Chain A
Amino acid sequence: MPRAIVLHRGDNVATLIDSGQSGETCTLQGESAGEVVLLQAVPFGHKVCVRATPAGGDVLKYGQVIGRAARALAVGEHAHVHNVESARGRGDLAEGRP
């Protein structure tokens, strides 16, 4: 069973330290316990959503904001560049940043 580490109680993503297949159950370790069923394959070192997050919502790891959800994230979903985006150094966005 693939393992995933939750680094802070408030985090909504966990980092896989094994690779996981779609439909596989993943064991949570670290600051949280329990299991999450993977909705897609998640490669080694990639993140899985462990708490449903609305579009635009903060994505939290280490108890810190690492970006925002580009669309709603479901529990078990692979959370990466296709659905989480950075809020920093974004010259491509409208003025006013940072």
Chain B
Amino acid sequence: MTRTFLGYPRANGAVGVRNHVAVISVMDNCNPVTRAICQAVDMTLPVTTLFVRGQYGHDLEVAFNTLAGMGRNPNIAAVLLVGLEEQTTEEVARRIRPAGKPVESINLQPHGTINAVAEGTRRALRLALAASAARRAPCPVSSLLVGVECGGSDTTSGLTCNPTIGAMADRLVGDGGSVIISETSEFLGAEHLFAARAADQAVGKAFVEAVTRLEREAVSRGMDIRGTNPTQDNIRGGLTTIEEKALGAMAKAGTTPLRSVLAYGEAPAGKGLHFMDAPAPAVENLTAMAAAGCQLIFFGTGVGNPIGNMVAPTVKVCGNVNTLRTMADNIDFDASAILEKGSKAGSVGERLYDFAIEVASGTRTTSELLDVRETAISRFAPTI
């Protein structure tokens, strides 16, 4: 029997696990108005950003595509864009419209702040009223695209939370769903094992090239990446080298074949497991996953990293008994039974899969309820 969750079926066939109106800043100077509108209207989510003004070429394309990707995300019922002027706002709007949801905009020129907040609030209200008519219905788990991430890692990550997430990922892929793993730098030292899982030679080659390109860049800058990756808190948590961190990080991808290699924020074309070539730091990586359409993200942590994504609810999984005590407020799922009770990652992962269905059906996460959420789009070139 096909396993289901209670989701929001969308006009384009996608399924949301949440039902929000995204208020999206087209550039950094719009953020204050975005925040003011979201304070005024329930059901809205502020998607703020830095820069965009002064970006050009590939770097600007990534910014537009990422903002639009978060708007297209199935968790979003409707979008209100907050822009400075019409033309740039339209660059983002035209990328969201194909998703078939309402897209409205408010520009600061020529309204000024007070009138833009007032008119934006009125439009957000109407969008939220219409969105609130949506009802959850049983939907197949195969409609889920899930991101797997780790941050604030330590040696318990590779032993507990990441293998638990990997077991959950295997179950989801087995039921016809999809998974994205990313964080290119965190494959240094484990890439040979992951490349061997590629569905075909071209995918394996593209994956190895992404890792090689990153390492070549680090080496060409003449710098030692130690202290940056692993980070100082990783090192305090017992991780000695990037190789050790990578071998533990890879566990969250489970064991299924690697189907494709994606660019920053790119949506996968097919089902199964995918790799996204994107920087590892959590906020910018989660942003890319949400832009790719992930409805949920599973985030393994060791010494603790509380941050979640604005659009894709982020489930914090931890197996470090100390962190489960000191940062209990920020953890959604306890995987410590692996070290403390000798439980197998497969059985703890089975429980996490059950919890995934609950969260997809509406159970909230700590980062949602505490609003511990942030957005950052990676930069690939300087601004002019």
Contact = CB atoms under 8 A, between A and B. Distances in A.
Given A64-B190, A67-B241, A98-B215, A86 B226 contact: yes
Contacts of B223: 91-92
B94 interface: no
Contact of B240 (A17, A43, A79, A88): A79
Given A45-B302, A67-B243, A89 B215 contact: yes
Nearest to B189: A88
Interface string B240-263: 111110011000000000000000
Contacts of A67: 240-241, 243-244
B188 A89 contact: yes
A91 B218 contact: yes
Contacts of B225: 86, 88-91
A98 B243 contact: no
B240 A84 contact: yes
B159 A86 contact: no
Interface string B177-198: 0000000010011100100000
Interface of A is mostly: loop
Given A88-B215, A91-B221, A66 B155 contact: no
A84 B230 CA distance: 13
Nearest to B221: A91
Contacts of B158: 62
Given A45-B302, A66-B189, A88 B220 contact: no
Interface residues of B, number: 37
In this complex, the member of B159, B212, B241 whose beta carbon has the largest number of chain A beta carbons within 10 angstroms is: B241
A98 B155 CA distance: 25
Interface in B205-229: 212, 215-216, 218-226, 229
Given A80-B240, A91-B222, A62 B247 contact: yes
Interface in B12-43: none
Interface string A15-31: 11100000000000000
B183 to A, nearest CB: 14
Contacts of A16: 238
A87 interface: yes
Contacts of A5: 159, 339
B218 A89 contact: yes
23 contacts: A5-B159, A15-B155, A17-B156, A45-B156, A46-B238, A66-B243, A66-B247, A67-B240, A80-B235, A81-B235, A85-B241, A86-B225, A86-B226, A86-B242, A86-B243, A89-B224, A89-B225, A89-B242, A91-B219, A91-B223, A91-B225, A98-B216, A98-B219
Given A47-B238, A80-B238, 19 more contacts: A15-B238, A17-B156, A44-B322, A45-B320, A64-B189, A66-B240, A66-B247, A79-B240, A80-B235, A81-B240, A86-B189, A87-B243, A88-B188, A88-B189, A88-B243, A89-B225, A90-B226, A91-B223, A98-B219
Interface of A: 5, 7, 15-17, 43-47, 59, 61-62, 64-67, 79-81, 84-93, 97-98
